[in-house]
Amino acid sequence: MVMNLEFQIDPQVWLSKFTRRHPELVVQALSLMPAPGGTILAEYDVLGPPQDWTKEIASFRDVVDVERLGVLPDLGRYRVRYQATRVFALHQKLELLIRYPASAKSGIGTNRLVGRLSHLRRLVSALRASGNVPRLLSLDRYTLRSGREPRAVTLTPIQRALFRQALYSGYFEVPRRITLTRLAEKVLRSKSSVSHTLAIVERKLAESALEPAI
């Protein structure tokens, strides 16, 4: 199932404080992945006036470090590592996929999540119990655009997050826009670990792609 959900971000999380302080901004998460030390490594676009928000984001207590990756006339891109949130932990536990970008504005988050209906219901119940005021915007069955339905590729949350980061960073482009060494630095893992994980992911994807159509 695909659920479009709106909820109140925990007031103690930097993203809630930042977007409530600047209601004119929209912050879009492009990727989130678990990182060492109980943290989240994420990339965000801050849509709004061209201003460097690095120091302000870094000032929040739950932010470990922040790096400005680039800037355009109407947005800035940031890499932020911060203390893991309870909602992100729930996503991981329930094996829910986030369809990016996920948006935040004025302390309110909007996510499109893919997962089992029972798991999506558990997430909504947990959010409601903790006072995050969830609001269901839509709930639909997941459908494939193609007439062929391939076998699902099963990736662990870490494999999925690393693959998304590598894809978004240009690791699979020709020529590559990022080296394996730099990718490993971005995700705070060793080069050999990243190489091994990506090799497993590539094999799973290749095996799925070579399956004959039914």
Task: Say whether both 165 and 106 belong to one domain.
Answer: no
Total number of domains constituting the chain: 2
Segment 49-55 shows an average pLDDT of 89
Among 127, 124, 101, 125, CA closest to 112? 101
Report the distance separating Cα 158 and Cα 166, nearest Å.
12
Q: What is the pLDDT of residue 143?
A: 61
Q: What percent of the chain has pLDDT over 70?
A: 92
Question: Is 26 a domain residue?
Answer: yes
Q: Is the pLDDT of residue 133 over 90?
A: no
Task: Say whether both 55 and 110 belong to one domain.
Answer: yes
Q: What is the pLDDT of residue 52?
A: 93
Q: Is the pLDDT of residue 150 over 60?
A: no
Half-sphere exposure of 135 toward its Cβ, with a 13 Å CA cutoff?
A: 8
pTM of the model: 0.71
Task: Say whether both 108 and 181 belong to one domain.
Answer: no
Domain membership of residue 78 as a residue range = 2-140
Band (pLDDT 50/70/90 cuts) for residue 100 is confident
The residues pairing with 72 across neighbouring beta strands, listed in sequence order, are 75
Task: Say whether both 128 and 189 belong to one domain.
Answer: no
Tell me the pairing of strands 75-83 and 97-105: unpaired
Task: Say whether both 29 and 105 belong to one domain.
Answer: yes
**Which residue in this structure is represented by tokens 């800037």?**
71
Q: What is the pLDDT of residue 48?
A: 84
Task: Say whether both 189 and 85 belong to one domain.
Answer: no
